[in-house]
A and B are shown apart, each in its own frame.
Chain A
């Protein structure tokens, strides 16, 4: 323990003393930029949530808690809960689909692992709107899925798939699946194969070795993946609009509408902040849980 604490120190200090440059020229430009264009805007939004909108948009500086109370009106509460439910379903499906994928990739030879990983990431680097649009081509009433279903004689008439909540789930799942696979792969790949071998040698069946050794050790990766999927899925407003047809709205759509249509910026800011508070909470819980998961066995 003392060794790990002391070892990096000399090197760090050496860099500090030897180079002889003041830290300010390095840190100041970036920090000032991020303070002005990240911290201040977020602080400003937080500030706005306690004031009223003006009659023609804008803001009236009279303190009020109305915006926060308004969140509990059934209309808005419904949208908030619906967003949580949809993002939750997407996350669960991503975990169910992504886990076997990550597991299979972790079992490949190093060379093929890289190829397989790049193949998972590549769609993620394709323009987000193009990928959304691709699902419109697929799910439309005249679209390809319906053509295939009818061609194969499974259905006679087109099934309405586009503009349903299910389509939103598929769209979000498609969008964020790579974000589940990557952290899962990272945790599965780090696993010491000898642990599983030991379990097998001691008589565990492959399934039991997986259930009692591999799976628990991969949970931190699974949790990270869940956050990576859940967080952007919650705030996405493009997919509910384009694939969901605007019929099923999520928090992101509300925020967008408050800013561009209702012109109620304080309430829009409140919704966005609620989203952020919620996401921070999720991340705090996640890191606490994953710390317990990784440290638990060592302590016990």
Chain B
């Protein structure tokens, strides 16, 4: 695999290695060219992101002309009031929605795994993850306006709580499947009460799944645009809504810096979640 890392930077070596069957003895049965579409796919997936990151270090106001290296857009980002307010709003929403989803999702997953046989409640609990965001967004807008609820961050928190709960439920359920029920039984046999057993035995075992679920819920909420768009007040935009208006009404190079920072946050979160799911995947 190390050799294929090199091959993407220099296509001519790919061609040479294809001619040389000894280059990678493990892959004798497979044509070497099999990795070419994969690398092309990665170019497609990463080229746009790369452009944004590179341009975030551009010294020019012009988005399409490279003038030289500069870090000027990063400090400017933090003086932009709209972006900072959007960031605060987003963090408030994501924290609130994650709190709701982690509690409800964990309870739901436990209840589903222990008390339900059919898939109906399970399907219902996971449905928000599949439901079109557009439908959920306008549905909640309609509900809130019927109940004359003032829109604001609280309504976005409620709305994000819906799909976030579905994701936490799904992830904790997957973790439940790996649990050894005999531990709970042992705890009960040794005289612990049901609540004590749940808090002291079940919850610690579920912890990695719960944390992974919460992390996912948080990330999804930070990035969510459509539902927030329909359920927030125009005066309280979340960060994605701020970006949307910037892209719509005129982009400043700060967007590049903001994008690069968000990208960094995503990478860190994904890797952390990946570590955690690896933990959840292999129970002791």
The answer to whether the Cβ of A252 comes within 8 Å of any Cβ in the partner chain is yes
CB distance from B172 to the nearest CB of A (A): 11
Judge whether B230 and A26 touch: CB under 8 Å: no
Main secondary structure of the interface of B (DSSP, over half): helix
Spot the interface stretch: B11-19, B75-83, B205-213, B259-267. Answer: B259-267
Say whether, besides A18-B185, A126-B263, A137-B55, A23 and B115 are in contact (CB < 8 Å).
yes
Indicate whether A104 sits within 8 Å of B35 (C-beta atoms), given known contacts A30-B107, A38-B127. yes
Given contacts A37-B158, A255-B138, A259-B230, are A125 and B270 in contact (CB under 8 A)?
yes
Closest to B185 in A: A18
Q: Which one of B48, B181, B263 lies within 8 Å of A138 (CB-CB)?
A: B48
Q: Does A168 contact B (CB under 8 A)?
A: no
The contact sample of 13 A-B pairs, CB cut-off 8 A, is A18-B188, A19-B184, A20-B194, A26-B111, A26-B115, A33-B161, A48-B142, A121-B270, A127-B243, A130-B52, A131-B49, A232-B132, A235-B135
CB–CB B223/A127 < 8 A? yes
Given A34-B125, A37-B162, A259:B141 Cβ within 8 A: yes
Q: Which of A116, A130, A174 contacts B243 (CB 8 A)?
A: A130
Residue of A nearest to B112 (CB): A27
1/0 per residue, CB under 8 A from B, across A172-215: the answer is 00100110010000000000000000000000001000000000
Contacts of B35 in A (CB 8 A): 104
Contact B162 A101 (CB under 8 A): no
CB distance from A163 to the nearest CB of B (A): 13
Q: Once bound together, how far apart are the Cα atoms of A132 and B247, in whole Å? A: 9
Tell me if B64 and A143 are in contact (CB < 8 A): yes
A276 contacts the other chain (CB 8 A) = yes
Residue from B64, B134, B219 within 8 A of A255 (CB atoms): B134
What is the bound-complex CA distance between A235 and B138, given in angstroms? 12
CA separation between A103 and B31, bound complex, in Å? 12
Known: A33-B165, A137-B64. 14 other contacts (CB 8 A): A15-B113, A18-B184, A26-B110, A26-B111, A27-B108, A118-B271, A120-B45, A127-B266, A130-B262, A135-B48, A138-B47, A174-B44, A252-B134, A279-B132
B181:A276 contact, CB within 8 angstroms: no
Would you call B51 and A144 a contact (CB within 8 A)? Answer: yes
Closest 6 pairs (CB-CB, A-B): A41-B139, A26-B111, A134-B48, A100-B37, A23-B115, A30-B108
CA distance A144 to B248 in the complex (A): 19
User: Which of A23, A128, A206 sits near B225, CB closer than 8 Å?
Assistant: A128
Chain B count of residues within 8 A CB distance of the other chain:
92
CB of B178 within 8 A of chain A?
Answer: no
Please state if B107 and A27 are interface contacts (CB–CB under 8 Å).
yes
Are B114 and A38 neighbours in the complex by a CB distance under 8 Å?
no
- Chain B contacts for A130, CB-based, 8 A: 52, 243, 255, 258-259, 262-263
Q: Which residues of A contact B125 (CB under 8 A)?
A: 30-31, 34
The verdict on A44 contacting chain B, using a C-beta distance below 8 Å, is yes
* Contact of A272 with B134 at beta-carbon distance under 8 Å, contacts A122-B267, A122-B270, A129-B243 already known: yes
Indicate if B169 sits at the interface (CB-CB under 8 A): yes
Q: A97-B44, A127-B240 are in contact. Are A44 and B142 (CB under 8 A)?
A: yes
Q: Does B217 contact A (CB under 8 A)?
A: no
| Complex: A276 Cα to B42 Cα, angstroms | 32
A262 near B: Cβ within 8 Å?
Answer: no
Query: Does B105 make an interface contact (CB < 8 A)?
Result: yes
With A104-B38, A272-B132 in contact, is A128–B266 under 8 Å at CB?
no
With both chains docked as a complex, state the minimum distance between the C-beta of B181 and any C-beta of chain A, in angstroms: 5
Is the beta-carbon distance between B188 and A20 smaller than 8 angstroms? yes
Q: Mark B102-134, 1 if CB is under 8 A from A, else 0.
A: 011101101111111100010011011011111
What mask results when residues 182 to 222 of chain B are scored 1 for a CB within 8 Å of chain A, else 0? 00110010000011011000000000000000000001001
User: A107 at the A/B interface (Cβ < 8 Å)?
Assistant: yes
Cβ–Cβ contact A122 & B244, under 8 A: no
Instruction: Say whether A74 faces chain B, with CB atoms less than 8 Å apart.
Output: no
Answer whether residue A109 sits at the interface, using C-beta atoms and an 8 A cutoff: yes
The answer to whether A123 touches B64 (Cβ under 8 A) is: no
A25 and B139 contacting across the interface, CB-CB below 8 Å = no
Say if the beta carbon of A63 comes within 8 Å of chain B.
no
Contact A34 B165 (CB under 8 A): yes
Residue of A nearest to B224 (CB): A128
Q: How distant is the Cα of A16 from the Cα of B165 in the complex, in angstroms?
A: 24
Within 8 A of A (CB), among B240-255: 240, 243-244, 247-248, 251, 255
Pairwise interchain contact B143-A41, C-beta atoms closer than 8 A: yes
Chain B, 41-69, CB within 8 A of any chain A CB: 41-42, 44-49, 51-52, 55, 63-64
Task: State whether the Cβ of B171 lies closer than 8 Å to any Cβ in chain A.
Answer: no
Contact (Cβ within 8 A) A19 B188: yes
A183 to chain B, nearest CB (A): 13
Interface residues of A in 205-230 (CB under 8 A from B): 206
Chain B residues near A12 (CB-CB < 8 A): 114, 117
Verify A272–B138 contact, CB threshold 8 A: yes
Q: Which residues from A are CB-within-8-Å of B111?
A: 23, 26-27, 30
Tell me how far the C-beta of B197 lies from the nearest C-beta in chain A, rounded to whole angstroms.
6
User: In the complex, are the beta carbons of B132 and A275 less than 8 A apart?
Assistant: yes
Pick from B41, B131, B138, B198: contact of A259, CB under 8 Å: B138
In the assembled complex, the Cα of A105 lies from the Cα of B244 at a distance in Å of 34
Tell me if B153 is interfacial: C-beta within 8 Å of chain A: no
Bound together, the chains give a CA A169 to CA B116 distance in angstroms of 43
